[in-house]
Structure 1
Amino acid sequence: MKKNSVKSASVVLLLLLAGSALANEVPFNQAAFDQARAAGKPVVVYFHADWCPTCRVQQPIVARLALEPVFKPVTIYEADFDTETALEKTMNVSQQSTFVVFKQGHEVTRSTGQTQEPAIRAVLQQAL
């Protein structure tokens, strides 16, 4: 019985890890971001902080949406609000829980503090 629950837990963990890999959610990397933007790919930079209650509400919504086939072309770069201070200045971001959306290499919209799935979906769709 214990062996089966260990196997089940392992399968669930593998599925979760596989889902994350497919989600196009990646830690922010300046070189990769610059390359994606220069290529005109759909990109979202999501500024978050672990201590932020709004970000905690947003995170599972973003993860769920990123798994949807419609958002497969979109790369969502997760930028840590506490450590990416130079990026915040460059993008003129003053608050965590901010999405900055790029389409064809140009910023098309930004949103701060959204916690409802339809609103976050609408923001991400602007990249397409």
Structure 2
Amino acid sequence: MSLFRQLVAAFAAVVMSLAASADTLPFEPAAFDRAVAAGGPVVVQFHADWCPTCKAQAPVVAELLNEPKMKAVKLFVANFDTERELKRSLKVNQQSTFVVFKGGKEVTRSTGQTQRAAIEAVFAKAL
């Protein structure tokens, strides 16, 4: 199998694992704005298909969102390469970044984390 096909297959597996988790949504501005305004726990993940750190984060995030304590968290996955307005508004300069909201306000952010405990601690700030 060519490297391209392997990468496509790997990306498809990541997308499927994220789709199977609690409340993972592709970034859509209106839905994201509504979720943040509602004040619930929201995380936006800046993901890039070419990013090895993002690939390492994907199974950890999927696992975490399937835990009962994380059920309320809405995860919006934003394409780092195409969501330029969102990157500008949130001042995100690097892929593999999580921006966490609680009560309608940003409470924390993290870039480059791949360890389960570190990502869990970041997501827990939304609760």
TM-score (norm 2): 0.84
**Post-superposition, which runs of at least 4 consecutive aligned residues in structure 1 deviate over 4 A?**
none
**What letter is aligned with 2:74?**
T
1:105 alignment partner in structure 2 = 104
* Identity %, equivalent residues: 60
What letter corresponds to residue 96 of structure 1 in structure 2? Q
Give the equivalent residue in structure 2 for 1:71.
Answer: 70
Partners of 1:50 and 1:18 in 2: CA distance: 14
Q: Does 2:82 align with 1:83?
A: yes
- One-letter code aligned to 1:113: G
Partner of 1:118: 117
Does structure 2 retain, via aligned residues, the 8 Å contact 1:19–1:67?
no
1:62–1:22 distance in 2 versus 1, CA, 3 Å? closer
Matches within 5 A, 1:1-128: 20-128=19-127
Matches of 1:36 and 1:87, distance apart in 2: 15
Q: What CA distance in whole angstroms lies between the structure 1 residues aligned with 2:39 and 2:121?
A: 20
Residue type at the aligned position of 1:107: E
Bigger Rg, structure 1 or 2 = 1
From the superposition, tell whether residues 44 and 19 of structure 1 become closer, same or farther in structure 2 (CA, over 3 Å): closer
Distance in structure 2 (CA, Å) of the matches to 1:115 and 1:47: 14
C-alpha distance in 2 between matches for 1:18 and 1:51: 17
Tell me by how many angstroms 1:37 deviates. Answer: 1.1
| 1:15-51 deviation per Cα after TM superposition (whole angstroms, max 9, x unaligned) | xx69835521110111111111111111000001010
Structure 2 CA distance for aligned equivalents of residues 125 and 19 of structure 1? 18
Relative distance call for 1:35 and 1:49 in structure 2 (3 A) is same
Q: TM-score, normalised by structure 1?
A: 0.83
Any stretches of 5+ residues in structure 1 without a counterpart?
A: 1-16
Gapped regions of structure 2 (runs ≥ 5): 1-15
Aligned residues: 112
